[in-house]
Amino acid sequence: MPDEDSKIDHYVLEYRRTNFEGPPRAKEDQPWMVVEGIKGTEYTLSGLKFDMKYMNFRVRACNKAVAGEFSEPVTLETRAFMFRLDASTCHQNLRVEELSVEWDATGGKVQDVK
């Protein structure tokens, strides 16, 4: 992290998709994608897809005259949560079968009212 009195104007974030576990590799087919002009020390990268499991990230600080060296690359994982719906405990208007879910506006399940 930079010192409070540093002359940092902005940061540049680069990332690329890798699809493998472990530390970043030097030779990679995927190009670095660039996000420039980041003013703070936190940034949310949107638009990531769950089909690309692992990604490399690196960042560098810049001022108005020069850019610093890139940080050591870090590998992160974008995980997708897997879940199943249970036909016996779901909302009464949902019709749940093995790999499909349908909304039944008529409330297809009959519930006993006591």
> Mean pLDDT over residues 21-25, rounded?
59
Q: State the number of CA atoms in the 13 A half-sphere of 103 facing the CB.
A: 1
pTM above threshold 0.85:
no
Pick from 48, 55, 46, 69: which is nearest to 17 by CA? 55
Pair (88, 74) in one structural domain: no
Answer yes or no: is 57 within a domain.
Answer: yes
- Decide if 108 contacts 93 (C-beta within 8 A): yes
Answer yes or no: is 114 within a domain.
Answer: no
Q: Which pLDDT score, from 0 to 100, does residue 59 have?
A: 95
What range does the domain containing 96 cover?
82-109
15 pLDDT above the threshold of 80: yes
Report residue 10 as tokens. 């902005």
Pair (44, 98) in one structural domain: no
Pair (58, 15) in one structural domain: yes
Domain CATH number, residue 8: 2.60.40.10
Measure CA 111 to chain center.
41
d(Cα 102, Cα 56) in Å, to the nearest integer?
A: 38
Report residue 98 as tokens. 């093995």
Bridge partners, 13 (sequence order): 35, 59
The per-residue pLDDT for range 45-86, each reduced to its tens digit, is 887 776 666 788 999 999 888 999 999 988 887 776 666 777
d(Cα 12, Cα 95) in Å, to the nearest integer?
A: 48
